Amino acid sequence: MSATGSVAITAGVELPARRENVDLRTSDGLTLVGELALPLDADPVATLVCLHPLPTHGGFMDSHILRKAAARLPALAQLAVLRFNFRGVTSPRGTSEGAFGEGIAERADLAAAMDLVAARALPQPWLLGWSFGTEVALKWGLEQPVVGAILLSPPLHRASEAELAAWQGSGKRLVAVIPELDDYLRPAEAAARFAVVPDAEVIAVEGGRHLWVGEKQTARVLTEIVERLNPAALPLPTEWSPTA
């Protein structure tokens, strides 16, 4: 804490918000566990629906970028942030029923999340996919009433070229944030693969890596998110005053 009483916003800091554990019910009868974080003293201006990285490689609703989005953005950018575990995934929040569905069965998981968005009348929903979560967003996001999708480190392994191309002319925005040093898809290849969606924004992040480790990379990703959902909140502060 500084002499003025402000707190540096770093990895472990959770800013004030209304946080609620939620259960999502899928069309095939599963219960998924999640959390909804809302601004403390105001209505949200937009909504982030988070789709986590590959469960078979440790991805879950607490994967660090998603956890930090929920910890910071309700307070800093007046956003609602919904995180949940895909089917068969465990986190400290609990375990979602079912088993990993290779990005196919997760269609119903995304639909269940959007059912909650509709039930709570949450505004201006965007999908935020990270790695495997981008595949779910690309394959099934066009079915949902979303403004668009933000793709962090998209591998483009499971989503077909036809599924990607379908976003062109859909009226939904597509933003791909590509790390320069990604393990799967680097900026030059990404530009070629996303050429089937001329309206997509493809953003190369110098020095970025697939896992976005470190506060500099975290801040860059969160800034890209807020630039689309609530640009009036930029630049994001690096300190928080308890009286703010």
Mind listing the pLDDT tens digit for each residue in 56-96?
999 999 999 999 999 999 999 999 999 999 999 999 999 99
The pLDDT tens digits for 51-63 are 999 999 999 999 9
The sign of the torsion formed by the CA atoms of 126, 14, 91, 186 equals positive
C-alpha distance across the termini of the chain, in Å: 14
Q: Taking residues 17-46, report their average pLDDT.
A: 98
* Strand pairing report for 201-205 and 31-38: unpaired
Q: How many CA atoms lie within 13 A of 67 on its CB side?
A: 17
Cα-flanking dihedrals φ and ψ of residue 38, to 5°?
-125, 155
Model confidence at 1, in pLDDT bands (50, 70, 90)?
very low
Instruction: Give the pLDDT confidence score for residue 86 in this predicted structure.
Output: 98
Which tens digit of pLDDT belongs to each residue from 187-244?
Answer: 999 999 999 999 999 999 999 999 999 999 999 999 999 999 999 999 999 999 986 5
User: Distance between CA atoms of 82 and 113, rounded to whole angstroms?
Assistant: 8
Query: What does the mean pLDDT of the chain come to?
Result: 97
Using the structure block, give the residue that is written with the tokens 């898809």: 185
**Cβ contact 81:70 at 8 Å:** yes
User: For the segment 105-124, what is each residue's pLDDT rounded down to a tens digit?
Assistant: 999 999 999 999 999 999 99
Superfamily of 7-231 according to CATH = Alpha/Beta hydrolase fold, catalytic domain (3.40.50.1820)
